[in-house]
Structure formats: structure tokens, C-alpha cells
Amino acid sequence: MYCGDGINDLVALAAADVGMAVGSSHASAAASISDKHSSVAGVLLCSNHAEAGRTCGLALALVGISYSIKSTLIVLASNTTAIVAGDSGVP
């Protein structure tokens, strides 16, 4: 992440993975994120929102993986029960 506030930061903002322009209309043209207030508080707020989004995304991925594993185990258990009972599923 690179933060810049002026026209001299355009190249660095454009080259950064995440470029954040602070308070400059010229820098906001090259940055992926811009904050109209010229304060460092916006950078911290943006960082906190990104961290919360990453945490939420990870939690949702774990829920999806656990649901998939649970569903697979239920299907395997029901097929095993049918085979043990002598039902091959073929008439």
C-alpha cells in the first residue's frame, strides 16, 4: 500500500498494489482508493475496513468448506447404509 497526496506521487500510486490518494484530486486519478480529507485518519480507517473484510471473507470460506465436507459425509454415510442393507440401487 502506498499513500500519496500530490502530483509527484502519481507514478508510485499507479504502480502500487493498493494506492491511496489523500486530499488531492490529481493523485486520486492514479490511485485505486482516494480520500478527500487530508488526514491520516482515513488511511487507518481504510486499513481497518480492509482487515474486517478479509476476516469476514475467511470466515465465509471456512463455513463453505465445512458445509461441503458435512454434505459429502452425509452422502457417503447414506450410500454405505444402502449397500450394507443389500440395496445396490439397481432394480
Each residue's pLDDT tens digit, 42-82: 778 878 888 999 999 999 999 999 999 999 998 888 777 66
Does the structure show a pLDDT above 90 at 21? no
pLDDT attached to residue 17: 78
CB 10 within 8 A of CB 26: yes
pTM surpassing 0.85?
no
Residues 6+ apart with CB under 8 A from 37: 22, 23
